[in-house]
């Protein structure tokens, strides 16, 4: 009597298929979750940059006075600190002693630092600075 082979998969083939499927799905999930975390980090950096740029623009558009100010963004996720300081450079006109003169305008350096806590609970920071020409000192 001849035996007939039944069509279908053996238990070993099914287990191997499940193991391969598990590996593929776990690697895919890891890639996806890292991509989402990176997208969140980039979004935070982008929003911090907008806050810093707006604080620099606001400080440069107001009357320039030396001092510091600080505050939080509207959603209270980002803390900013801005400082305005007079910027002075030494002027050397010749190989001898520096020449003293009364400048017609003053230069001010505006520094802004934005800090925030990301999803990874670490504190992140972004700093921007610019020089602005002010009125007579």
Q: What is the DSSP string of the chain?
A: -PPPPPPS--HHHHHHHHHHHHHHHHHHHHHHHHHHHHHHHHHHHHHHHHHHHHHHHHHHHS---SEEEEEE-TTSSEEEEEEEEEE------SSSSPPP---SSEEEEEEEEEEEE-TTS-EEEEEEEEEEEES--
3 occurs within a structural domain: no
2 occurs within a structural domain: no
Q: In the predicted model, is pLDDT for residue 11 greater than 70? A: yes
81 occurs within a structural domain: yes
Domain count, the chain: 1
Write out the residue range of the structural domain in which residue 108 sits.
Answer: 11-134
Mean pLDDT of all residues belonging to the chain: 86
Greater model confidence, 99 or 32? 32
Mean pLDDT of all residues in 52-61: 93
47 occurs within a structural domain: yes
pLDDT tens-digit profile of 18-43? 999 999 999 999 999 999 888 988 99
Give pLDDT, residue 2: 53
Q: pTM for the whole thing? A: 0.69
105 occurs within a structural domain: yes
Q: In the predicted model, is pLDDT for residue 134 greater than 90? A: no
73 occurs within a structural domain: yes
């Amino acid at each position: 009597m001849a035996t007939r082979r039944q069509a279908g998969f053996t238990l070993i083939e099914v287990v191997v298929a499940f193991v391969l499927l598990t590996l593929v799905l776990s690697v895919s999930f890891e890639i996806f979750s890292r991509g989402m975390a990176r997208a969140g980090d980039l979004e935070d950096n982008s929003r911090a940059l907008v806050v810093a740029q707006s604080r620099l623009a606001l400080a440069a558009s107001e009357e320039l006075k030396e001092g510091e100010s600080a505050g939080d963004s509207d959603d209270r996720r980002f803390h900013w600190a801005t400082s305005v300081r007079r910027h002075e450079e030494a002027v050397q006109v010749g190989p001898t002693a520096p020449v003293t003169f009364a400048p017609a305008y003053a230069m001010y350096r505006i520094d802004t630092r934005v800090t925030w806590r990301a999803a990874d609970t670490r504190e992140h920071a972004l700093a921007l600075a610019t020089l602005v020409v002010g009125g007579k000192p």
